[in-house]
């Protein structure tokens, strides 16, 4: 230990002799200065942390669970951590019980701190990453059982305070335990508790955080508003749907605390008023029952309301749009859109899906005197509803306005048409805006376009998000007895709509219509009925004319004297 003491001392480290059990080998305080003679019979050597050793700090990866190497590997694979570790050649040593020490120096130095914990078999938290800082020490090589595995332990680099914060914050991001503190409103079966356990609580909380300026990063990590780099919190790491904040300057959240979705809602949306937040939570309305945790008597009522009676006379859903095709002897009507359902328009990027919908929407907005101006025939006049809503989630204001102008040039009237550009808003905010628009104008709305539906979800491959967005479509079409037409992209390598969201929507849609680029004419697109609960219509092609408007190719207009046949599905 004497040569080790000499070398450590020469490089600015303050040392202490240690016993086999890692305790200081001294009769008085270990914080005093030791001389070479104190190490004559020492079992091992320890390094004092903090200013005594030039700002030395040790990040200790404990091996209580036997996976310290896995945790360290995961930590060093984080790009910003790997960059600092590699540039400064930070030393790593393995300890006698299979743990690891990662060493660095910094002007800023705190005391010993637990950064990441995990529950053991006795349901008690144990540290998996902790620091030894000011006022602490750790046992080092060449103490028996301690071996340097990376870089030079005698040459520990000084890193900046910013780099230190990156190392510390990313270690905290691996934390797997923090006991959330529940409010009065979150006790068992209280509104907050039911909300926290609902299928939408997690996605709601993420949307609220994003709306408040938080940015979601990879691997459950989040960055607070006003911060351009680094991480500030994790979501779902310490516990499902729990937001763990470990940074200051993140008002209304406090550092080193965990928050449930209900608490996130309350702090951001209701200024900390838990009572008002509880009142805002969804309840059963308009016949749509939101299942969370219900008594058996209420479930029995639901079953009675939901039972299908084959003797009940139920009218077929009113049709708002039909397509006209020329048969052998007559023109044939085929239903396309009906009230109480939704449709999906799919296609590759830039396949003219929106052009197709402008053609359809203008037909729906046109009165009977213009019923043959296109291949599509509007039946909206027979429904008692005249309103049409259009929500654009993708385009900028300029292109969005041009799309609506295009509809205006083709439609006989725009009197009952409203269009909105929702591109600047978060997915959750877009959903709330659309739902509020239906509260205002839903009673009179027959047809609605959401272009595109993927922008209502936090992720197209998130099964919970797919269920949430699909449920919104099912509820809106039922509550307001309207038809909603949505747009979603196809995968590059096949003809399926993208992600779990695309799969979920296609399963519930009344009709799936695909729009594809025409191989022979770049101004044209091919339209096909991929699936319909009615009668599939025949494929056709439309092109963009010199006025920038879509028109159906090779379409023979019926005359007033033409014979028609209304074709309905045989089941």
Q: CATH number, domain at 459?
A: 3.40.50.300
Does 528 share its domain with 399?
yes
Does 199 share its domain with 167?
no
Hey, what are 242's tokens? 């729990």
Does 165 share its domain with 190?
no
Does 114 share its domain with 38?
yes
Q: How many residues are there in the chain?
A: 571
Residue 59, domain member (yes or no) = yes
Does 377 share its domain with 505?
yes
Residue 308, domain member (yes or no) = no
Q: Give the pLDDT of residue 494.
A: 67
Does 153 share its domain with 192?
no
Residue 67, domain member (yes or no) = yes
Does 189 share its domain with 164?
no
Residue 288, domain member (yes or no) = no
Distance CA 154, CA 164 (A): 19
In which residue ranges of the chain is pLDDT below 50?
284-294, 369-372, 560-565, 567-571
Q: Give the pLDDT of residue 495.
A: 65
Of 118, 143, 172, which closes a domain? 172
Does 415 share its domain with 468?
yes
Confirm whether pTM is higher than 0.85.
no
Q: Specify the pairing of strand 56-61 against strand 100-105.
A: antiparallel
Q: Give the pLDDT of residue 428.
A: 83
Of 253, 282, 311, which closes a domain? 282
Residue 314, domain member (yes or no) = no
How many angstroms separate the first and last alpha carbons of the chain?
Answer: 90
Does 167 share its domain with 193?
no
Going through 186-318 in order, the beta strands assigned E by DSSP cover: 215-216, 221-223, 233-235, 243-245, 257-259
Report the CATH number at residue 78: 3.30.2250
Does 194 share its domain with 162?
no
Q: Look at the chain and report how many structural domains it folds into.
A: 3
Residue pLDDT, tens place only, 364-395: 888 654 444 557 888 887 888 889 999 999 88
Residue 362, domain member (yes or no) = yes
Residue 297, domain member (yes or no) = no
Q: Give the pLDDT of residue 32.
A: 92
Going through 76-220 in order, the beta strands assigned E by DSSP cover: 92-94, 100-105, 113-119, 125-132, 137-140, 147-150, 215-216
Of 141, 172, 203, which closes a domain? 172
Does 108 share its domain with 242?
no
Distance CA 23, CA 177 (A): 29
Q: Give the pLDDT of residue 306.
A: 67
From residue 363, alpha-carbon distances to 214, 321, 487 in Å are: 43, 8, 18
Determine contact, residues 137/76, Cβ cutoff 8 Å: no
Q: What does 304-347 look like in DSSP terms, one character per residue?
A: HHH---TTS--PPPPEEEEEEEE-SSSEEEEEEEETT-EEEEEE
Q: 101: closest CA among 56, 65, 43?
A: 56
Residue pLDDT, tens place only, 42-88: 999 999 999 999 999 999 999 999 999 999 999 999 888 999 999 99
Q: Give the pLDDT of residue 555.
A: 56
Distance CA 262, CA 259 (A): 8
Does 71 share its domain with 146?
yes
Residue 291, domain member (yes or no) = no
- Structural domain of residue 120, as residue ranges? 2-172
Half-sphere exposure of 132 (CA within 13 A, CB side): 20
User: How large is the C-alpha radius of gyration of the chain?
Assistant: 33
What values do phi and psi take at 411, rounded to 5? Answer: -85, 150
């Amino acid at each position: 230990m004497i040569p080790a003491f000499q070398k450590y001392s020469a490089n600015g480290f303050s040392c202490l002799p240690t016993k086999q059990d890692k305790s200081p080998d001294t009769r008085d305080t270990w914080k005093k200065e030791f001389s070479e003679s104190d190490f004559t019979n020492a079992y091992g050597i320890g390094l004092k942390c903090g200013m005594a050793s030039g700002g030395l700090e040790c990040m200790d990866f404990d091996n209580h669970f036997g996976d310290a190497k896995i945790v360290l590997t995961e930590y060093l694979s984080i790009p910003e951590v790997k960059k600092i570790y590699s540039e400064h050649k930070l030393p790593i040593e393995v300890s006698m019980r299979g743990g690891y020490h990662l060493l660095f120096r910094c002007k800023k130095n705190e005391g010993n701190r637990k950064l990441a914990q995990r529950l053991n078999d006795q349901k008690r938290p144990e540290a998996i990453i902790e620091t030894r800082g000011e006022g602490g020490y750790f046992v080092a090589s060449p103490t028996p059982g301690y071996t340097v595995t990376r870089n030079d332990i005698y040459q520990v680099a000084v890193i900046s305070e910013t780099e230190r914060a990156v190392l510390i914050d990313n270690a905290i991001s691996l934390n797997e335990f923090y006991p959330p503190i529940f409010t009065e409103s979150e006790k068992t079966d209280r509104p907050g508790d039911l909300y926290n356990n609902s299928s939408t609580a997690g996605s709601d909380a993420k949307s609220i955080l994003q709306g408040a300026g938080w940015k979601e990063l990879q691997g459950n990590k989040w960055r607070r508003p006003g911060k351009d780099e680094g991480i500030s919190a994790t979501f779902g790491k310490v516990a499902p749907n729990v937001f763990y904040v470990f940074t200051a300057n993140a008002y209304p959240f406090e550092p080193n605390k965990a928050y449930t979705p209900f608490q996130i809602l309350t702090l951001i949306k209701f200024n900390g008023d838990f009572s008002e937040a509880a009142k805002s939570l969804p309840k059963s309305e308009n016949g749509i029952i939101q299942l969370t945790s219900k008594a058996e008597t209420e479930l029995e009522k639901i079953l009675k309301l939901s039972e299908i009676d084959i003797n009940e006379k139920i009218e077929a859903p009113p049709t708002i749009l039909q397509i006209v095709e020329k048969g052998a002897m007559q023109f044939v009507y085929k239903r396309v859109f009906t009230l109480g359902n939704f449709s999906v328009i799919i296609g590759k990027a830039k396949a003219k899906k929106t052009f197709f919908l402008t053609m359809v929407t203008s037909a729906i907005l046109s009165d009977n005197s213009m019923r043959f101006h296109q291949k599509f025939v509007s039946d909206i006049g027979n429904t008692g509803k005249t309103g049409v809503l259009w929500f654009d989630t993708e385009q900028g204001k300029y292109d969005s306005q041009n799309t609506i102008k295009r509809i205006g040039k083709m439609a006989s009237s725009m009197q009952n048409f409203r269009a909105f550009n929702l591109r600047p808003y978060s997915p959750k905010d877009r959903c709330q805006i659309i739902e509020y628009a239906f509260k205002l104008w839903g009673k009179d709305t027959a047809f609605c376009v959401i272009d595109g539906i993927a922008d209502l979800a936090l992720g197209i491959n998130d099964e919970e998000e797919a269920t949430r967005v699909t449920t919104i479509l099912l509820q809106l079409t039922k509550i307001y007895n309207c038809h909603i037409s949505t747009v979603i992209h196809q995968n590059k390598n096949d003809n399926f709509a993208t992600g779990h969201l695309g799969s979920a929507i296609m399963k519930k849609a009344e009709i799936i219509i695909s729009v594809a680029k025409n191989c022979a004419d770049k101004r044209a697109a091919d339209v096909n009925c991929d699936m319909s609960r009615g009668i599939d219509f025949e494929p056709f092609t439309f092109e963009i004319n010199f006025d920038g408007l879509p028109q159906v190719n090779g379409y023979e207009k019926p005359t007033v004297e033409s014979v028609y046949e209304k074709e309905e599905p045989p089941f």
